[in-house]
């Protein structure tokens, strides 16, 4: 009889080194949390938010705060703007919003 090996899939964690030098961890969002992220974009129209500029940055900050506080609930919204640069934000969004169907040709 063949010994069947079990396969375990665990949630990844992303370690982010903040501008201050401190580190935090980020985890991917659940499907329910990903769905909730759409509430940060006014009426689902990101194009309008981009045109406004500061509103666009506010949306990014609010969304980043939501993501960070899934694992780090003590992180304050006002700290987001001074602890993350644009490259960090991009990397976090790419990690969190990774499309599982992207590599499957869907």
Walk along the chain (106 residues) and give the pLDDT tens digit of each residue: 556 788 998 889 999 999 999 999 999 999 999 999 988 877 655 566 566 677 888 889 999 999 999 999 999 999 999 999 999 999 999 999 888 888 776 5
pLDDT at site 63: 96
Please report whether residue 104 resides in a domain: no
CA distance 44 to 57: 16
- What is the pLDDT at residue 51? 62
81 domain-assigned: yes
What per-residue confidence (pLDDT) applies to 80? 94
Does 3 reside within a domain?
Answer: no
20 CB-side CA count, 13 A: 8
- For residue 91, tell me if it sits in a domain: yes
Q: How many domains does the chain have?
A: 1
Question: In 3D, which of 70, 88, 69 has the Cα closest to residue 78?
Answer: 69
What pTM value is reported for the model? 0.80
- Distance between CA atoms of residues 20 and 84, nearest Å: 9
User: What domain range includes position 60?
Assistant: 42-98
Q: Report if residue 58 sits inside a domain.
A: yes
> Per the domain annotation, does 23 fall within a domain?
no
């Amino acid at each position: 009889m063949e010994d069947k090996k079990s396969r375990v899939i665990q949630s990844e964690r992303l370690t982010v080194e903040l501008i201050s030098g401190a580190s935090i961890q980020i985890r991917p969002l659940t499907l329910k949390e990903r769905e909730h992220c759409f509430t940060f974009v006014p009426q689902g129209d990101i194009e309008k938010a981009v045109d406004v500029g500061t509103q666009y940055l506010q949306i990014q900050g609010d969304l980043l705060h939501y993501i960070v506080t899934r694992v780090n609930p003590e992180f304050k919204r006002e700290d987001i703007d001074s602890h993350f640069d644009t490259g960090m934000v991009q990397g976090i969004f790419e990690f969190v919003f990774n499309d599982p169907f992207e590599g499957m040709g869907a």
